[in-house]
Amino acid sequence: MTTNAQLLPAPAADGSEGGTAAAPTSGWRLALRSFGENRLAVIGVGIVVLFVLFCFAGPHFYHTNQTSVNVVNSFQPPGSGHILGTDGQGFDELGRVMLGGQSSLEVGLFAAAIATTIGTLYGTAAGLAGGYIDAIMMRFVDMLLSIPFLFIVLIVATKFSSTVLSLGLILGMFSWLVPARLVRAEVLALRNRGFVAAARVMGASGPRLAFRHLIPNALGVVVVNITFQIADAIIAVATLGFLGFGLYYPHTDWGDQLSNGVTYLTAGYWWLIFPVGICLILVVMAFNFIGDALRDAVDVRLRRR
Amino acid sequence: MAIYLLRRAVTAAVVLLGISMVTFALLHIMSPSPGRDVLGLQASRASVAAFNRAHGFDRPLISQYLSYMNQLVHGNLGYSYKLNQSVDALLSENAGRTAMLVGVSLVIAIAIAVPLGIFQAVKRNKAADNVVTALAFTAYSMPSFFLGLLLIDLFALRLHLVNAEASQSTSAFVIFTDPRSMVLPVATMAAVSVAMYSRYQRSATLDQLAQDYIRLARAKGLPARLVLTRHLVRNACLPMVTLIGLSVPLLLAGNLVIESVFNYPGLGLLFFNSLQSDDYPVLLAYTLVSGALTVLGNLAADISLALSDPRIELA
C-alpha cells in the first residue's frame, strides 16, 4: 500500500524534503474535506457528539436519583414525572440510560486507546526490526488471533470486570492484534522509502525513526482503525454486561440494563429495553459510519496523488 | 501441492502449540489454586492444599502443562469437578447440537447473503441496494443478543408464532423435529452472518463487474442474465470461500451468545454456565477446541481457495 508521506508537511528533521514549496492543502486537509462531503459521516459525528452531550451533560440538567433504591416507585410506565418510566429498583430510566451510556462510551474509548497504542508500538517495532524478529512477532499475533476474542475476554472478565478502568483494560489488552497487523504492513511499505533512508543516513536512531517518521505517516490507517475499535468495544461491553460479566453494581452499562430489562420482557415493560437498545445501536452505527467515511477519505486522498 | 499442504500443516501445528501454552498460562493466572475453586470459600487451607497436592496442582506450571498436554494427545481433555464428569463427555454430549445450530444457520446465511450481495452489486446505488445496505448496516451494528431479544419480543411474545426458548431436547436433530422452538435461534445466528457476508459479497462482485471479461461477455451480445450466471457468479464467490473459513471464531462467539440468550443446551451454553461456576477445566478445554477449530478453518480456507481457483499457485 502506498502512503501519504509526501502530502504531509515534511518533518523538521527532513530538511531535504521540506523546502519553501510546501503544499497549501495538506493531505489531512484534503481528507477532512472529502470526509465532510460524506453525508453519512457527518451524521455519524453528529450522533456521537449528541450522545456525548446526552450522557455526560444530560444528568446536570435532568436531575434524577440514581443512588437510593425506591421499590414503591418501581416499574412506573413512561409519563408522569419520569419521561421513560422507572426500572425494577425505582430508578428513573432516562437518567439510567445516561449513566449507562457514560460507562459504555468511557470503556469503549479507553479500550480503543489501549489497543491502538499497544498495536501501533508493536506493529512499528515488528516492521522496523524486519527479518526473523518480525516473523516471530507476527506469528505470535497470528496465534493470539486464533483464540476467539470473546472467550478469552469472558474468562478474564469473570474475575476482573468490576470497574470502567479494569473492563477497558481487559478489552484493550486483547484487541490490539488487528491494529498491530495494519501498522506493521504500513511500516513495511514505508521503511524502504527515500525519506526513511535519508533519516537513517543522518543517523536517526530506531525510536526516532519510529516516532518521528514511521508512525506519523502510518497515522491514516491507525485513525480509521480506532473508530472501528470503539464500535467493537462498545458492542463487547454490552455483550459482557448482558451475559452478567460487566460492571458491578452501582456502576451500570447498557448491556447490564438490557439484561435486567429482559427479565421483565414478558411483563411488557418495553421501556426497559427499547430506549437502551436504540441508543446502543445508534452509537455503534455512528462510529461505523465515521470509520467507513474515514477509510474512504484516506483512500480518496491516495487516489488524488 | 503435497509440499504446500505439509508446510501449512506444520505452521498450523506450531500455532496450535502456542495457543495451548497461552491459554494454559492464562487459565493458570485466573485460577492458580483449583482446590479453592472446587472446594469453595468455606474449605480450610489444609484441605485446599491437600486437594491441590492430590491432583498435581502444586507442581510447577511447566510440569502441569506437560502432563495436561500428555493427557490431551491421549484424548483426555480434563475433568470437571463441578459437574463431576469428564470434559470429553461434556463436550461430545453438546457438540452435535452446536454443530447443527451453527451449520444450519451458516448454510441459510450463505444461501441468502451470496445472491443478496450479487443483487446489490448489480443494482448498485439504486433504491433497492440502499435499502438492503441500510438493513445490513443496522444488523451489523447490533449486538447479536439484542437482535435475538427483538425477535423474541415480536414473534414469540406478541405474535405467538414461535416459542421464545429453544428446545431442551438432547437430540442433535432437534432443529428439524421441533422447528417451532428453533426458528428464532437459527434466524438470529443467520441474520448476523448475512449482514457481514452480504457486505463482502457486494464489494467482491463490484470488483468483478469492473473486469474486462465481463465487458467482453457483454460486448459479444450475451444476455445480462447469462453474463451473471456463466461468468460473474463463480468469480465473485471466490472471496467468500476465504471469508467463511476465516469467520470460525466469530461463528463460535455468536453461538456462545445466542445459546445463552435462547437457553439452547450446546457448547456455548456449557461455556457460559462454566463461567458462572468457575469451572476452569471446561473453560480451558473449550477455548483450546475453539482455537483448534479456528486454525483448521484458516487452513481449510487456504486449501479450498487454492483448489477452487486454478490461478493460485501453491508454493
CB contact under 8 A, A243 and B272: yes
- The predicted pLDDT at position A26 comes to 65
| CA of A151 vs chain B CAs: smallest distance (Å) | 7
Burial class (CB in 10 A: 0-12, 13-18, 19+), B246: middle
Residue A18 has pLDDT above 70, yes or no: no
Reported as a single tens digit per residue, the pLDDT across A188-200 is: 888 888 888 888 8
Residue A11 has pLDDT above 60, yes or no: no
CA A175 to chain centre: 11
- What the block records as the C-alpha cell of A53 is 452531550
Reported as a single tens digit per residue, the pLDDT across B133-146 is: 888 888 888 888 88
CB contact under 8 A, B294 and A243: no
Nearest chain B residue to A235 by CA: give it.
B143
Burial class (CB in 10 A: 0-12, 13-18, 19+), A27: buried
CB contact under 8 A, A150 and B14: no
B312 Ramachandran zone, left/alpha/beta (phi>0; psi -120 to 50)? beta
- What the block records as the C-alpha cell of B179 is 422447528
Residue B5 has pLDDT above 90, yes or no: no
- The predicted pLDDT at position A113 comes to 92
Contacts of A260 in chain B (CB under 8 A): none
Nearest chain A residue to B291 by CA: give it.
A147
Q: What is the ipTM of this complex?
A: 0.85
CB contact under 8 A, B140 and A159: no
Reported as a single tens digit per residue, the pLDDT across A40-98 is: 788 888 888 888 888 887 777 777 777 777 777 766 777 767 766 777 676 777 778 88
Stretch A106-116: mean pLDDT: 91
What separation in angstroms does the CA of B34 have from each of A65, B53, B286? 42, 11, 17
Task: Collect contacts of A87-90 with beta carbons under 8 A, ≥24 apart.
Answer: A87/A257, A87/A260, A87/A261, A87/A272, A88/A260, A88/A263, A88/A264, A88/A272
CB contact under 8 A, B22 and A147: yes
Asked whether the beta carbons of B266 and B94 are under 8 A apart, the reply is yes
Asked whether the beta carbons of B263 and B271 are under 8 A apart, the reply is no
Question: With bands split at pLDDT 50, 70 and 90, how would you rate the model's confidence at A20?
Answer: low
Give the SS3 label for residue B161. Answer: coil
Contacts of A243 in chain B (CB under 8 A): 145, 257, 260, 272, 275
Contacts of B298 in chain A (CB under 8 A): 146
Q: What are phi and psi of B310, to 5 degrees?
A: -65, -15
- The predicted pLDDT at position A118 comes to 93
Model confidence, pTM: 0.84
Asked whether the beta carbons of B187 and B139 are under 8 A apart, the reply is no
Contacts of A284 in chain B (CB under 8 A): 141-142
Reported as a single tens digit per residue, the pLDDT across B49-107 is: 888 888 878 788 888 888 888 888 888 888 888 788 888 888 888 888 888 889 999 99
Nearest chain B residue to A280 by CA: give it.
B142
- The predicted pLDDT at position B314 comes to 61
Stretch B269-290: mean pLDDT: 88
Nearest chain A residue to B299 by CA: give it.
A146
d(CA A185, CA B118): 30
CB contact under 8 A, B287 and A147: yes
- Please provide the DSSP assignment of chain A as one string: ----GGGSPPPTT-TTT-SS---SS-HHHHHHHHHHH-HHHHHHHHHHHHHHIIIIIHHHHS----SS--GGGTTPPSSSS-TT-B-TT--BHHHHHHHHHHHHHHHHHHHHHHHHHHHHHHHHHHHHH-HHHHHHHHHHHHHHHTS-HHHHHHHHHHHH-SSHHHHHHHHHHTS-HHHHHHHHHHHHHHTTSHHHHHHHHTT--HHHIIIIIIHHHHHHHHHHHHHHHHHHHHHHHHHHHHHT-SPPTT---HHHHHHHHHHTTTTT-GGGTHHHHHHHHHHHHHHHHHHHHHHHHHHHHHHH-
- The predicted pLDDT at position A174 comes to 87
- What the block records as the C-alpha cell of B314 is 501453491
d(CA B233, CA B214): 11
Residue A114 has pLDDT above 90, yes or no: yes
Reported as a single tens digit per residue, the pLDDT across A198-215 is: 888 888 787 888 888 888
Residue A14 has pLDDT above 90, yes or no: no
Nearest chain B residue to A151 by CA: give it.
B287
Stretch A217-221: mean pLDDT: 80
- The predicted pLDDT at position B200 comes to 86
Question: With bands split at pLDDT 50, 70 and 90, how would you rate the model's confidence at A27?
Answer: low
| CA of A254 vs chain B CAs: smallest distance (Å) | 11
Candidate from A144, A158, A273 with C-beta closest to B278: A158
Contacts of A151 in chain B (CB under 8 A): 252-253, 256, 271, 283, 286-287, 290
Question: With bands split at pLDDT 50, 70 and 90, how would you rate the model's confidence at A1?
Answer: very low
- The predicted pLDDT at position A299 comes to 62
Contacts of B286 in chain A (CB under 8 A): 151
Stretch A19-42: mean pLDDT: 68
Let me know how many helices (H) and strands (E) chain B has, helices first.
Answer: 15, 2
What is the residue-averaged pLDDT of chain B? 84
Stretch A141-147: mean pLDDT: 87
Stretch A101-105: mean pLDDT: 88
What is the residue-averaged pLDDT of chain A? 78
Reported as a single tens digit per residue, the pLDDT across B161-189 is: 877 777 777 777 777 777 777 888 888 99
Give residue limits of the domains in chain B.
Answer: 99-274+302-308
Residue A4 has pLDDT above 60, yes or no: no
| CA of A147 vs chain B CAs: smallest distance (Å) | 5
- Residue among A39, A149, A151, A178 with most chain B CBs within 10 A, to mutate: A151
CB contact under 8 A, B23 and A266: no
Q: Which CATH class is domain B99-274+302-308?
A: mainly alpha
| CA of A204 vs chain B CAs: smallest distance (Å) | 36
Give me the torsion for CA of A126, A149, A115, A2, rounded to 10°: 50
Asked whether the beta carbons of B194 and B139 are under 8 A apart, the reply is yes
% of chain B with per-residue pLDDT over 90? 3
Candidate from A231, A270, A277 with C-beta closest to B146: A277
Q: What are phi and psi of A92, to 5 degrees?
A: -65, 125
